[in-house]
């Protein structure tokens, strides 16, 4: 969600009145963790993390609805370029990750865990501007609104990241060099009905199917505000053998903001909405066998929440945690507002 747009301003006005309520239920343990020293102006960004002790009353390791709470952090930085985090992908099992912001930057770093395998802090943070297809920095806010990120693998090794944009709606790949996305964008063709829709309610959710999936390598696209004739989210699948339209049934008052695949091919869809001046969210699991062109995607709710334990939840990613479990990581976008938070929340599936 972009802070400079009409939707962002309307949302800010609504939520400012109830912003104090957003902080109910946060039990912090403050940990200062400056980023590791780097060598350029885009690097050496200090991020301070506040460890979250509970989520919806559950302590780390305890069940919360259909998941296990594994811990979380609230991230802050004196750098005015840190924030607006809308997409997330993990690059290895050591916690190295890449994020995108509403202002057209890549934010990279490493998620560090404590001795109990709970998220502790983000270190080694770099913030780099994205480039267009000519290798120049994106010229204006309308073109910078990056909302989703998925990791592209070649022979099992991350080689690029795929980024979805709204406003100037498009999808582009950026090569990975030493764990950082960089270089000129390489645009990925998407349907004309999607690229022709120019608003900040277009492409929010994007994910790439894993090797174990029947649609391995295919990219799922789910816009935020584009609906079909039945009121369902109008989506699309990009793939060589798996290409075509699909639809997704979102919850009442909710819209998809991101998606991610589990290793077995099941699809996770993160939804976001606003309820009584507070953000609400839910995480839905769609069975792997249901994900195909022409399908109507529905699933079961793993987690839903409203209020102080969440914020503007916009990103979801899956990776292997330090204890060997598959971690489901949710990330919030603070819209560069002081009264919103950059939250990173981790869960795992119940066995």
145-173 tens-digit pLDDT: 999 999 999 998 999 999 999 999 999 99
pLDDT tier, 17 (very low <50, low <70, confident <90, very high otherwise): very low
pLDDT above 80 for 98: yes
Quote the tokens at residue 339: 């009264």
Read off the pLDDT of each residue in 266-284 and give the average, rounded to a whole number.
94
Q: Which of the 8 DSSP states describes residue 131?
A: B
The alpha carbon of 159 is separated from its chain's Cα centroid by a whole number of angstroms, namely 19
CA dihedral sign, ordered 58, 63, 65, 69? positive
In a domain, 95, yes or no: yes
Query: Which pLDDT score is estimated for 242?
Result: 92
In a domain, 231, yes or no: yes
Range of the domain at 199: 17-334
pLDDT digits (tens, 9 = 90+) for 324-344: 999 999 999 999 999 999 999
Query: Which pLDDT score is estimated for 241?
Result: 86
In a domain, 48, yes or no: yes
Read off the pLDDT of each residue in 49-59 and give the average, rounded to a whole number.
97
Q: What is the pTM of this model?
A: 0.89
In a domain, 246, yes or no: yes
Q: Classify each residue of 319-345 as buried b or exposed e, where b means 16 or more C-beta atoms within 10 Å of its C-beta.
A: bebbeebebbbbbbbbbbbeebbbbbb
Which residues does 20 contact at the CB level (< 8 Å), separation at least 6?
A: none
CATH classification of the domain holding 215: 2.120.10
Alpha helices in 210-270 (DSSP H): none
**Residue 133 CB burial class (10 angstroms; 0-12, 13-18, ≥19):** exposed
What's the rounded Cα separation, in Å, for the pair 213 and 208? 10
Cβ-contact 221, 239 below 8 angstroms: no
Query: Which pLDDT score is estimated for 12?
Result: 44
How does the average pLDDT of the chain come out, rounded? Answer: 89
What SS3 state is found at 134? Answer: coil
In a domain, 290, yes or no: yes
Which of 116-125, 189-198, 269-278 shows the lowest per-residue confidence on average (mean pLDDT)? 269-278
What's the rounded Cα separation, in Å, for the pair 166 and 146? 7
What's the rounded Cα separation, in Å, for the pair 23 and 21? 5
Read off the pLDDT of each residue in 67-87 and give the average, rounded to a whole number.
96
Looking at the DSSP bridge assignments, the partners of residue 280 are 273, 306
Which of 12-26, 46-60, 245-259 shows the lowest per-residue confidence on average (mean pLDDT)? 12-26
Number of domains in the chain: 1
pLDDT above 80 for 41: no
What's the rounded Cα separation, in Å, for the pair 172 and 184? 9
What's the rounded Cα separation, in Å, for the pair 178 and 92? 12
pLDDT above 90 for 28: no
Q: Which of the 8 DSSP states describes residue 325?
A: P
Query: Which pLDDT score is estimated for 42?
Result: 67
Read off the pLDDT of each residue in 208-226 and give the average, rounded to a whole number.
96
Query: Which pLDDT score is estimated for 299?
Result: 97
What's the rounded Cα separation, in Å, for the pair 292 and 137? 36
In a domain, 342, yes or no: no
Q: Classify each residue of 84-98 as buried b or exposed e, where b means 16 or more C-beta atoms within 10 Å of its C-beta.
A: bbbbbbbbeeebbbb
pLDDT tier, 64 (very low <50, low <70, confident <90, very high otherwise): very high
In a domain, 296, yes or no: yes
In a domain, 224, yes or no: yes
Read off the pLDDT of each residue in 10-28 and give the average, rounded to a whole number.
37
End-to-end CA distance of the chain: 34
């Amino acid at each position: 969600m972009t802070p400079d747009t009409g939707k962002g301003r309307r949302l800010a006005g609504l939520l400012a009145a109830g912003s104090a309520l957003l902080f109910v239920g946060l039990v912090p343990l403050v940990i200062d963790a400056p980023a590791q020293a780097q060598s350029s102006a885009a690097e050496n960004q200090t991020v301070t993390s506040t460890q979250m002790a509970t989520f919806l009353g559950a302590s780390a390791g305890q069940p919360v609805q259909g998941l296990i709470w594994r811990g979380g952090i609230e991230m802050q930085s004196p750098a005015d370029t840190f924030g607006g985090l809308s997409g997330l992908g993990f690059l290895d099992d050591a916690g190295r990750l890449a994020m995108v912001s509403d202002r057209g930057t890549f934010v990279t770093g490493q998620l560090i865990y404590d001795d109990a395998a709970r998220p502790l802090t983000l270190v080694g943070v770099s913030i780099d501007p994205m480039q267009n297809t000519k290798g120049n920095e994106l010229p204006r806010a309308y073109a910078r609104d990056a909302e989703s990120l998925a990791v592209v693998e070649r022979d099992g090794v991350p080689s690029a990241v795929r980024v979805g944009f709204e406003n100037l709606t498009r999808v582009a790949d950026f090569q990975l060099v030493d764990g950082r996305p960089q270089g000129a964008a390489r645009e990925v063709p998407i349907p004309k009905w999607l690229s022709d829709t120019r608003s900040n309610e277009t492409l929010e959710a994007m994910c790439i199917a894993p090797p174990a999936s029947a649609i391995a390598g295919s990219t799922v696209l789910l816009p935020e505000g584009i609906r079909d004739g039945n009121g369902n989210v109008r989506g699309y699948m990009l793939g060589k053998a798996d290409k075509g339209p699909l639809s997704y049934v979102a919850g009442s008052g909710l819209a998809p903001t991101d998606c991610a695949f589990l290793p077995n091919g099941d699809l996770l869809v993160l939804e976001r909405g606003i309820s009584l001046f507070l953000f609400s969210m839910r995480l839905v699991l769609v069975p792997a066998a249901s994900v195909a062109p022409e399908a109507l995607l529905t699933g079961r709710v793993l987690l839903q929440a409203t209020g102080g334990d969440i914020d503007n939840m916009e990103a979801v990613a899956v990776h292997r945690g330090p204890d060997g479990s598959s971690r489901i990581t949710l990330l919030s976008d603070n819209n560069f507002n002081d009264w919103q938070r950059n939250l990173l929340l981790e869960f795992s599936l119940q066995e």
